[in-house]
Structure 1
Amino acid sequence: MTSAPDPDVAVRRMAAESLAGDDPTGWFERLYAAADDGAAVVPWDRGAPHPLLIDWLGRPDDARGQPRPAGTAVVVGCGPGFDAELLAGHGWTTTAFDVSASAVAAARRRFPDTTVRYVAADLFDPPRAWRQAFDLVVEIMTVQSLPVRLHQRATEAVAGFVAPNGTLLVVATARTGSTEPAGPTEGPPWPLTREEVEAFAVGGLTPVSVEQHDGTPPFQHWRAEFRR
């Protein structure tokens, strides 16, 4: 019996072709367009919100046990849309963007009655109105989908969305000594080191917590919270 194609192999092939053409984000549109046609699978489409986001939203905002007050939120690299819909369900006025227009169109079809504002936009060239505009910024595994040379630029762009007194939540696959080689890794993804996660504390953001959580073996994940 012939085994099913490994979706990670197809993703890495598309990414390699885009990188060879000096277009580090072009492969996202190719992948989502192919998925629309049934010719590819989006490996990170969990069919549900990320568990670390679900857990974080369920935690009180402070030691007094107060719930998190809802405000404006943006989901970076929203993909299938499940994380954005979770936020909207918790009362957040949510914007969700992806560089892939096909991903945005698919999310709108998946959630026809949504209150989320889905937008096709580039992290490296976002609308100026988004600058320090959101009470909550959620970045789940987007920076790690870019080559390491772009991590700092992407990190600074994500941090730039956080409003005064706002919060940034980062979830990423962990690159640690026990799970990753010391040298450059083949990607995507390009998992983040602790130093790369802590680098989100830029432009007035300060770290609240940096946690390491178990994921699908042998992987671990970071969940980090920052405040402006």
Structure 2
Amino acid sequence: MDSTQDRRPNADTAGDRGAAGEDAEQFWERHYRTRRAWDAHVNPLLAATVAPLRPGAALDLGCGAGGDAIWLAQRGWHVTAVDISATAVERVRERARDLGVADRVTTEQHDLARSFPADQFDLVSAQYFHTPFPLLRAQVLRTAARALRPGGLLLIVDHGSTAPWSWNQDPDIHYPTPTEIAAELDLDPAHWSVLRAEAPRRRATGPAGESATVIDNVLLVQLTAG
């Protein structure tokens, strides 16, 4: 099963933009309450990026069902997993305990537009960090970049194409390129370096088992000076 099913589903599998009068927290809480308790896999671009790194402290933005957070913890990382959904963070906490990595997983409930973890990190992962609700995403990601320790990495992986199973089939939709995302972050090049800005293709599997080639927009940024 394609790992993107574990992430924020508005670009792939949400099915709606929320019930009438529903806010972001209620929407995501409903989403995780109505899905299977454990249906999570590591996102492949995160796995490929992290494989050669020495484990340190990681922050998983919008941890969802926890596939990335658990995978990182199993490889020695100390992970702070955050999500707007209380159900999501509780399930990640339970899964970490079941798998014997509870000492390496800290879960926190955050609406990242209003609050943010206080620590510093060697890795911040934003995998398909999308929502059908208004969000100052660039502002959140700039805050994430400022949470890095010198030498730390911010990995942003976004959808770069519309999958056949996506709720949004607008043919005119524009997916910001990695270069456009970097420009939105407006990080001082004296302190941050762009290590990767690419749009690779891969085969993905949808919620009903269908398969398609999709594009991911990948931006990897490093804090080079404090």
Deviation at 1:147, TM superposition (A): 4.8
Give the structure 1 partner of residue 220 of structure 2: 225
Correspondence list, 1:30-45, <5 A: 30-35=30-35, 45=39
Specify whether residues 201 and 54 from structure 1 end up closer, same or farther in structure 2 by C-alpha distance, changes over 3 A only.
farther
Give the structure 2 partner of residue 56 of structure 1: 49
Give the structure 2 partner of residue 73 of structure 1: 58
Deviation at 1:127, TM superposition (A): 4.2
Q: Distance in 2 between matches of 1:86 and 1:223?
A: 20
* Greater alpha carbon shift after TM alignment, 50-59 vs 22-31: 22-31
Q: Which protein is richer in strand relative to its size?
A: 2
State yes or no: 1:120 paired with 2:109: yes
User: Please, which of 134, 159, 178 is the counterpart of residue 194 of structure 1?
Assistant: 178
Q: Distance in 2 between matches of 1:212 and 1:136?
A: 21
Deviation at 1:10, TM superposition (A): 7.7
Q: 1:206–1:226: 8 Å Cα contact kept in structure 2?
A: yes
1:135-159 Cα shifts (integer Å, max 9, x gaps):
11111111x3355763333333332
The unaligned stretches of length 5 or more in structure 1 are 1-6, 60-67, 186-190
Specify whether residues 201 and 25 from structure 1 end up closer, same or farther in structure 2 by C-alpha distance, changes over 3 A only.
farther
CA RMSD of aligned residues (A): 3.1
User: Please, which of 124, 128, 141 is the counterpart of residue 141 of structure 1?
Assistant: 128
Structure with larger RCO (C-alpha < 8 A, sep 6+): 2
Give the alignment's TM-score, normalised by structure 2. Answer: 0.71
SS in 1 for 2:136: helix
The amino acid that maps onto 1:81 is G
Specify whether residues 11 and 182 from structure 1 end up closer, same or farther in structure 2 by C-alpha distance, changes over 3 A only.
closer
Q: Distance in 1 between matches of 2:172 and 2:28?
A: 25
Deviation at 1:167, TM superposition (A): 1.0
Q: Distance in 2 between matches of 1:141 and 1:12?
A: 16
Q: 1:123–1:157: 8 Å Cα contact kept in structure 2?
A: no
Specify whether residues 128 and 108 from structure 1 end up closer, same or farther in structure 2 by C-alpha distance, changes over 3 A only.
closer
Q: 1:212–1:220: 8 Å Cα contact kept in structure 2?
A: yes
Specify whether residues 152 and 120 from structure 1 end up closer, same or farther in structure 2 by C-alpha distance, changes over 3 A only.
same
What percentage of residue pairs aligned between the two structures are identical? 26
Q: Distance in 2 between matches of 1:10 and 1:70?
A: 32
1:65-89 Cα shifts (integer Å, max 9, x gaps):
xxx2222111111111121122222
Q: 1:210–1:225: 8 Å Cα contact kept in structure 2?
A: yes
The aligned length equals 193
Specify whether residues 57 and 127 from structure 1 end up closer, same or farther in structure 2 by C-alpha distance, changes over 3 A only.
closer
Give the alignment's TM-score, normalised by structure 1. Answer: 0.70
The amino acid that maps onto 1:16 is G
Correspondence list, 1:1-228, <5 A: 11-13=14-16, 15-17=17-19, 21=21, 23-35=23-35, 45=39, 47-59=40-52, 68-112=53-97, 113-114=100-101, 115-127=104-116, 129-130=118-119, 133-142=120-129, 144-147=130-133, 150-175=136-161, 183-184=172-173, 191-198=175-182, 199-200=184-185, 202=187, 204-215=191-202, 216=204, 217-228=212-223
The unaligned stretches of length 5 or more in structure 2 are 1-8, 163-168, 205-211
Q: Distance in 2 between matches of 1:183 and 1:150?
A: 22
